[in-house]
């Protein structure tokens, strides 16, 4: 049959792909292209190409011959190495459809793992910084107390399915272009479980779990911030059939603070100083997460200057130490002066030679007209 030469391209793998990658690629394509799954006649040639590509690349000797440019079927290799008469890997075909060999199939358990759940937790900045303990009320699924997760009415148990005799699947022989094939599918009588619940539990209706509200005490570690997710293993919903519970995730939402703005482990705030205090220096009291603290303002402090207070930020998550508190200074220029204040300022300006100060432009600064021009130009 005509086959394209690029076997790697047919399977969609790299030339250095290992055996597992090649097998996974073949299984994926076989599920899509097999005639029993997709009867489109136009895909039959594609399925033949994929199967032949896998036959070559899964055999080390054939793959080596192919990589060297030789005919991989030159030495009678076709039809050997665990393939059927037509050269198709039946065991891998079965694996592709059922996810494993025959030993892996059979009745499936009613117990399945529960879903994960996410709970939003709103915290103040101080709680995020230093940690806290919360009592959370969670609506979740727990094991049914009436049937203990079995799903049957009290005094009864699941019975063996009469359709599949407990195997959980039924098999049938089908004919295809490659001959007869044995295929299996979940039993329609029991849904693949191998057993049937004749009398469901009146409390959970055979689900093996019921919904309830419970209170969970959780510890929030120090250093969490807005968007942090905390995983609590096994605290999610109980699975169907009394299966193991999933996980509970706490999504931290940090409430805005009236003074501080957080950036990582550092806190930022703004302090407004009178012009005289900035020029002469001062000592003032500022708020921190630990309470009031003294801050020394050096003489000549400029507007926009940042003053760090080391170790006054938030606790580092999963680490030691704390961030810093950064004080941003804004110098306030008086707008209303009485006659005496104005005269004093004029005298100061005269002493400093600032009666008619020249304008100073630093590199990179823009005037009003240049900013207006950039705004119109979309910069």
Across 114-128, average pLDDT: 94
Q: What is the pLDDT of residue 109?
A: 86
CATH number at residue 72: 1.10.287.110
Phi-psi region of 36 (alpha: psi -120 to 50; beta: other; left: phi over 0): alpha
Q: Is residue 74 part of a domain?
A: yes
Cβ contact 11:53 at 8 Å: yes
DSSP letter (8 states) at residue 225: -
Same domain, 250 and 268: no
Is 357's pLDDT higher than 60? yes
Question: Across-strand partners of 122?
Answer: 253
| Distance (Å) of CA 195 to CA 104, 151, 282, 319, 361 | 18, 12, 83, 53, 86
Buried b (16+ CB within 10 A) or exposed e, 33-55: bbbeeeeeeebbebbbbbbbbbb
Report H helices in the chain.
Answer: 7-11, 19-33, 44-57, 60-67, 90-98, 125-130, 275-280, 339-351, 368-377
Residues 270, 239 share a domain: no
Q: Are residues 147 and 203 in the same domain?
A: yes
Model confidence pLDDT, tens digit, residues 9-28: 888 888 888 888 888 888 88
Output the pLDDT for position 204: 93
379 exposure class (CB count in 10 Å sphere: 0-12, 13-18, 19+): exposed
Is the domain of 94 the same as that of 144? no
Asked if residue 79 has pLDDT above 50, the reply is no
Both 228 and 320 in one domain: the answer is no
Q: What are phi and psi of 354, to 5 degrees?
A: -115, 25
Which range of 6-15, 74-83, 271-280 scores highest in mean pLDDT? It is 271-280
pLDDT for position 105: 59
- Do residues 246 and 324 share a domain? no
Q: Is residue 287 part of a domain?
A: yes
Per-residue pLDDT band for 131 (boundaries 50, 70, 90) equals very high
What tokens were used for 195? 């057993």
What pLDDT, on the 0 to 100 scale, is given for residue 363? Answer: 64
Backbone φ and ψ for 127, nearest 5 degrees, come out as -65, -40
- In this structure, the answer to whether residues 121 and 243 fall within a common structural domain is yes
Domain identity same for 121 and 30: no
Domain membership of residue 90 (yes or no) is yes
User: Quick one: 13 and 130 in the same domain?
Assistant: no
| Overall size of the chain counted in residues | 379
Out of 105-114, 285-294, 348-357, give the one with best mean pLDDT: 285-294
HEC secondary structure over 111-151: CCCCCCEEEEEEECHHHHHHCEEEEEEEEEEEECCCCCCCC
Which residues does 245 contact at the CB level (< 8 Å), separation at least 6?
A: 113, 114, 234, 235, 236, 237, 238, 239
Per the structure, the complete domain to which residue 326 belongs is given by 261-351
Same domain, 250 and 129: yes
CA–CA separation, 315 and 104 (whole Å): 50
Q: pLDDT tens-digit profile of 152-199?
A: 999 999 999 988 888 888 877 766 656 667 778 888 888 889 999 999
Instruction: Read off the pLDDT of residues 215-252 as tens digits, 9 standing for 90 and up.
Output: 999 999 999 999 999 999 999 999 998 889 999 999 99
How distant is the alpha carbon of residue 197 from its chain centre? 38
- Look at residue 3 in the predicted model and tell me its pLDDT: 40
What pLDDT is attached to residue 263?
Answer: 95
For residue 293, the number of C-alpha atoms closer than 13 Å in the C-beta half-sphere is 15
- Kindly state whether residue 187 falls inside one of the protein's structural domains: no
Domain assignment present for residue 362? The answer is no
Do 130 and 245 lie in one domain? The reply is yes
Question: Which pLDDT score is estimated for 56?
Answer: 85
Nearest to 324 by CA among 312, 315, 316, 332: 312
Which residues are bridge partners to 84 per DSSP?
A: none
Output the pLDDT for position 153: 94
Task: Look at residue 266 and tell me whether its pLDDT is greater than 50.
Answer: yes
Half-sphere exposure for 374 (CA within 13 Å, toward CB): 8
pLDDT of residue 374: 55
CATH number where 235 lies = 2.60.260.20
For the chain, the maximum distance between any two Cα atoms, rounded to a whole number of angstroms, is 112
**pLDDT for position 2:** 36
Residue (of 307, 288, 294, 302) closest to 330 by Cα position: 302
Query: What is the mean predicted confidence (pLDDT) over 313-336?
Result: 92
Q: How many domains does the chain have?
A: 3
Measured between its terminal Cα atoms, the distance across the chain in Å is 63
Predicted pLDDT at 348:
84
* Residue 90's pLDDT band (cuts 50, 70, 90): very low
33 is a domain residue: yes
Whether the predicted pLDDT of 309 surpasses 90: yes
Answer for the pair 107, 166: CB distance below 8 angstroms, yes or no: yes
pLDDT band (50, 70, 90) for residue 100: very low
Q: What's the pLDDT at 302?
A: 93
- Note whether 207 and 323 are same-domain residues: no
Decide if 210 is inside a domain. yes
Which of 324, 318, 323 is closest to 221 using CA atoms? 318
Closest CA to 8 of 71, 76, 83, 58: 58
Q: Residue 91 above 60 pLDDT?
A: no
| Separation in Å, CA 87 to CA 12, 40, 123 | 21, 22, 65
Higher per-residue confidence, 33 vs 267: 267
Of the listed ranges 15-19, 46-50, 198-202, 326-330, the least confidently predicted one is 46-50
Last residue of a domain, one of 212, 239, 254: 254
Is residue 109 situated within a structural domain?
Answer: no
CA pair distance 302, 273, nearest whole angstrom: 10
Q: Which of 219-223, 298-302, 336-340, 371-375 has the lowest mean pLDDT?
A: 371-375
* Domain C-terminal end among 228, 254, 280: 254
For residue 80, the model assigns a pLDDT of 41
User: What is the mean predicted confidence (pLDDT) over 76-91?
Assistant: 43
Q: For the chain, give the mean pLDDT.
A: 82
pLDDT at residue 24, as a whole number: 84
């Amino acid at each position: 049959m005509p086959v394209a030469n690029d076997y790697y391209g047919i399977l969609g793998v790299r030339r250095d792909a290992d055996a597992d990658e090649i097998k996974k690629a073949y299984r994926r394509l076989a599920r899509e292209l097999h005639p029993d799954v997709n009867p489109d006649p136009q895909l039959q040639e594609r399925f033949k190409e994929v199967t032949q590509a896998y036959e070559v690349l899964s055999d080390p000797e054939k793959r080596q011959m192919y990589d060297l440019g030789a005919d991989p079927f030159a030495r009678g290799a076709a039809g050997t190495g665990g393939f059927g008469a037509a050269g198709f890997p039946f065991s891998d075909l079965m694996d592709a459809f059922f996810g494993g060999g025959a030993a892996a199939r059979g009745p499936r358990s009613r117990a399945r793992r529960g879903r994960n759940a996410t709970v939003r937790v709103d915290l103040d900045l101080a709680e995020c910084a230093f940690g806290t303990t919360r009592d959370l009320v969670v609506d979740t699924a727990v094991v049914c107390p009436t049937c203990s997760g079995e799903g049957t009415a009290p005094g009864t148990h699941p019975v063996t399915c009469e359709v599949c005799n407990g195997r959980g699947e039924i098999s049938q022989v089908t004919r295809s272009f490659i001959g007869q094939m044995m295929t299996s599918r979940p039993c329609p009588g029991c849904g693949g479980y191998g057993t049937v619940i004749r009398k469901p539990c009146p409390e959970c209706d055979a689900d093996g779990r019921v919904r309830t509200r419970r209170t969970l005490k959780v510890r929030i570690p120090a250093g969490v911030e807005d968007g942090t997710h905390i995983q609590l293993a096994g605290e999610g919903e109980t699975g169907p059939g009394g299966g193991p519970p999933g996980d509970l995730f706490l999504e931290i939402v940090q409430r805005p603070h009236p003074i501080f703005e957080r950036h990582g482990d550092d806190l930022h705030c703004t302090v407004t100083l009178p012009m005289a205090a900035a020029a002469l220096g001062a000592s003032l009291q500022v708020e921190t997460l630990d309470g009031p603290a003294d801050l020394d303002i050096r003489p000549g402090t400029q507007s926009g200057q940042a003053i760090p207070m080391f170790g006054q930020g938030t606790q580092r998550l999963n680490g030691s130490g704390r961030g810093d508190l950064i004080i941003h200074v804004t110098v306030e220029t008086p707008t209303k002066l009485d006659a005496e204040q104005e005269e004093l300022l004029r005298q100061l300006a005269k002493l400093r030679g600032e009666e008619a100060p020249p304008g100073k432009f630093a590199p990179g600064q823009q005037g009003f007209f240049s900013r207006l021009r950039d705004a119109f130009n979309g910069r």
